[in-house]
Structures are given as C-alpha cells and as structure tokens.
A and B are shown apart, each in its own frame.
Chain A
C-alpha cells in the first residue's frame, strides 16, 4: 500500500517537473521571436505585453515558487519515504524476527523430536536389554538350581555309597588304640576255633 503511494508521488513529481520544463521551454521560445516583433505588429505588441507580464522577475518568482514547492514536495516525500522506510524496516525486522522465530521453533521442535526419538530408542534398548538380562538371569538361575540339585544328589549318593567306609574309618581311628588286646583274646580264640581246621590242614599239609 505504501509502495503504491510512493510510486504515485514519484510519478506526480516527475509530471510536475515535466510541466515546469515544458513551460520554461515555451517561454524561451516565445521570447526569441519577440525581438523580431519590433516592427509594430499586433502580434508583436501582444508578444511584448506577454514579455512584459512574464518578465524576468516574474519568471524568477515563478521559478522560486516552483523551487520552493518542489523542495516542499521533495521534503514531504522524503519524510514520507523516511516514515515508510522506518515502517518497512520495523516490518522487515518483525518479519525477520518472526521468520527466525518460526525457523528456530521448527528447529527446536525437530531437535526435541530427535531427542525424544533418541530417548525412546534408548529406553527401548534398555528395556530390551533388561528383558534379555532377566531372561538370562532366569536361565542361569534354572541352570544353577539344576546344577545344585545334581551336585546335591551326587553328594548324597556318594555319601550313601561310602557312608559305611566313612563310619568304619571314624570308628577305627577313634577306638582303635583304646581296645585292650587282652580283652580281645576271647574273640581271637573264638575266630581261631572257627578256623581251626583250616589252620591245622594248612600247617600240616601246606608246605
């Protein structure tokens, strides 16, 4: 809108300048033939009157007025132009600010989205890892329980198999040196009596 006004004012100024130039040229053309009207014709008289009316002072006055008016118009237009320029600058600033803000907002939104995606990926990865760890832990726990149960069964079986030997060893170690040989004589003689025939045969017929 402001640009349109500016253009219109500039066009108007150009037209006014054109009119003034045209007037100046016309007046100069009219003054030249006036020298040739000195022969007293009516037309010459009219020309002289015109030259009398539009003499140099009047022309200077017109030029001054035109110059002042032109300066005034130029000044006003400069003021308008300055205002428009300020307005345009402020609008441009606001536009730039708005654009930058929108761009930044968009970038921040993308950045937040990226961070959110990365966070989600990390959470998914951690969740997956936790799940795998729990599964591994469960599997290991089951295996350990199986190993423990197996080892326990093996130990119990081994203990069952060797229990008598263990007790024998313990008893022999514990009471072996405490049994008096004289107390054993009765049992030794009993054993000898039970094997008396074999001993007798071996001694008399062996070698």
Chain B
C-alpha cells in the first residue's frame, strides 16, 4: 500500500503538527507583510528583515521558491494554505509529552505509509500509562498499555490464580 501523494509540497519531518504548519504560515505572513510594507517605504528607511525559521527557508528552497519575491511568497502561502485545508490529520494521545525526535520518527513513518502530508495533533492522557490512542476521522485505535492489560485480562487472572494458560 503506497502513501497517497496529494500535494506538490512535501512537508519536512520537522513539521509534524498542525501547530507547526500554522507557525510556518504565520512566519510567512509576517515576512510578506513586512516586505510589502518595505516596498512602500524608501530605501533609507529599510530595517532588518524579520527572522524566519530554518524550516521555512529550507522548505522554500527545496521547492525553488524565493521568499523575497512577492509571487513566490504568494504561491508558497497558497501551497501552505492548501496543505492546511487538505492535509489529513491524526490525533495522538500519549501518557507524557513526546520528544521532537519521537515525533519526527513517528511522522516519518506515517508519511511514508499513510499520507505524505499527514499532520498530527498531540494530546495528553496520563491514565493510559503507556502506548497511545490514535483517533482518525471516524475511528479510534487504542494502542495503550491499559488496553493491552484489558485484552490480556484472562492471562493475568490465570497467572495470578496459578492456573495453566491452556486451561
């Protein structure tokens, strides 16, 4: 089963959540606003460019887009907006906040196997103890340690009562 490639832009693994994508869009909007305002001012009044993230620059460079060009910025904003509108989102609930490395590995696997522009929403649910709960559009997949314990209820009872598993 090949992942679905529905968009021209491939999101880097650093952009894992909808929050990350929104932050990129805000940065791009800020830069665009600044450059548009700077174009209206004289050259002497030009000040320092707002700092952009490395992810935004790399993403733009990887698609041959110049952020200083108004047309490219507009195209880039349209692409990011389209991704925001159309990218599938999966909600993951973990017992503790995941690290960036963990999220990168997870989103890499998902984009490799499910959808190339898939985004995550991260939630916390300490009661699951371990594992995660995955919610897609219509379904929920419980991969938590709590669920594993419940599924292994009979095995645990047999072990605790000293009965053999075969019985």
Chain A interface (Cβ < 8 Å from any Cβ of B): 160, 163-164, 167-168, 171-172, 175-177, 179, 181-182, 184-185, 187-189, 191-193, 195-200, 202-204, 206-207
Contact = CB atoms under 8 A, between A and B. Distances in A.
Contacts of A207: 137-138
Interface stretch (B38-46, B77-85, B144-152): B144-152
Given A163-B160, A192-B143, A184 B136 contact: no
Majority secondary structure, B binding face: mixed
A160 to B, nearest CB: 8
A203 B131 contact: no
Contacts of A177: 95-96, 126
B9 to A, nearest CB: 18
Contact of B143 (A160, A172, A181, A188): A188
A167 B152 CA distance: 12
Given A172-B145, A181-B102, A202 B131 contact: no
A203 B118 contact: yes
B96 A200 contact: no
B123 interface: no
B88 interface: yes
Contacts of B59: none
B134 interface: yes
Contact of A192 (B1, B102, B109, B153): B109
B131 to A, nearest CB: 6
B73 to A, nearest CB: 30
Contacts of A188: 106, 131-132, 143
A182 B96 CA distance: 11
A203 B6 CA distance: 13
B95 A176 contact: yes
B94 A181 contact: yes
A168 B149 contact: yes
Nearest to B154: A164
Given A167-B160, A196-B1, A203 B90 contact: yes
A172 B137 contact: no
B130 A179 contact: yes
9 contacts: A167-B160, A176-B126, A176-B130, A176-B145, A177-B95, A179-B95, A198-B141, A206-B138, A206-B139
B133 to A, nearest CB: 11
Contact of A172 (B96, B139, B149): B149
Task: Identify the 7 closest CB pairs spanning chains A and B, nearest first.
Answer: A176-B129, A206-B137, A191-B143, A172-B129, A168-B149, A202-B136, A203-B88
